[in-house]
Amino acid sequence: MDRYEQAIKSSNVVEDDAVVASEVAKIIEKASQYASPEVYKFLFNSIDLTTLSSEDSERSVAKFTNRVNDFDADYPQYGHVAAICVYSNFAEVVKDHLDVEGVDVCVVAGCFPSSQTFTAVKVADVALAVEAGAQEVDVVLPLGMFRDGNYEELCDELIELRHTARNARLKVILETGCLKTAAAIKAASILAMYCEADFIKTSTGKIYPGASHEACYVMCQCIKEYYERTGRKVGFKAAGGVRSTEDALAYYAIVREVLGEEWLNTDLFRIGASSLANAVLTSLEGSEIKYF
């Protein structure tokens, strides 16, 4: 048994899908107790505002970024989103147009969303994105290697990407809609954290089903155990299909119940979304808002 298999085997995180579903149901049942303007504002501030369209261009991404600038002037009482997330080739566009202090430049890189190319190409993509101004880099865990149990090569690649990202945050996307089971999500979470990911993220939102409450619960349990064993805090990011305030509140509740209030800050909690921003603003304003 190699060190990666040993790390997975030594974990006590639950693998029973029925138990996970039961525990999640208990948390979701009381999630509404956290509903408040303060929590809604926090959810808005935790959003990685995302545009990942095949039709994205320098002009459209600049316009998207300027909308974040405009919001800062139009709704100063709500603060700002955590980051603007774009394809890696648009990092410099966001950096050049973004005027709001505290909003990070985030990119998806490493042959997103499939992660199917040469490691050298992934490394070059991450390096170029960071050089262009990316402060956060989201990469996809190579699912083929994971399915084959080729943990050594998988981790070697992720570790190289971690080093290439330098001071930028590295978020590793597990693609939980493909992994499906608690056991697989647990194993992928452990491997990503072993490779010093700063965040583990549910999904790309492109190929497989997106974020789920059950995946969130398992990932947070893994983060908790990892912190207890190492003292290093890893963040959680939900992405893929999170569109309503109620759904975002459910993820907030799971993180709060499993990891505690220590994780309720934008250094450790994110939601990758586009339409969610308008939904949360609507909840805050009490009338429909379509700003982004």
Q: Which member of 122, 171, 186, 201 is catalytic?
A: 201
Please give the structure tokens belonging to residue 151: 């943990």
Predicted confidence band at 1 (pLDDT cuts at 50, 70, 90)? low
Rounded to whole angstroms, the Cα distance separating 170 from 146 reads 19
- pTM score of the predicted model: 0.96
**Active site (annotated) includes residue 138:** yes
Q: How many residues does the chain have?
A: 292
Instruction: Report whether pLDDT(132) > 80.
Output: yes
Rounded to whole angstroms, the Cα distance separating 290 from 292 reads 6
Q: Which member of 138, 171, 198, 247 is catalytic?
A: 138
* Mean predicted confidence (pLDDT) in 164-189: 98
Predicted confidence band at 261 (pLDDT cuts at 50, 70, 90)? very high
Rounded to whole angstroms, the Cα distance separating 259 from 267 reads 14
Please give the structure tokens belonging to residue 9: 């085997």
Rounded to whole angstroms, the Cα distance separating 273 from 37 reads 20
**Active site (annotated) includes residue 237:** yes
Rounded to whole angstroms, the Cα distance separating 121 from 279 reads 37
Instruction: Report whether pLDDT(2) > 90.
Output: no
Rounded to whole angstroms, the Cα distance separating 186 from 184 reads 5
Task: Name 224's Cβ contacts closer than 8 Å, sequence gap at least 6.
Answer: 258, 259
* Mean predicted confidence (pLDDT) in 257-266: 98
Rounded to whole angstroms, the Cα distance separating 265 from 48 reads 13
Q: Which member of 48, 186, 237, 247 is catalytic?
A: 237
- The pLDDT tens digits of the residues spanning 192-223 come to 999 999 999 999 999 999 999 999 999 999 99
Which residue type does 275 have?
S
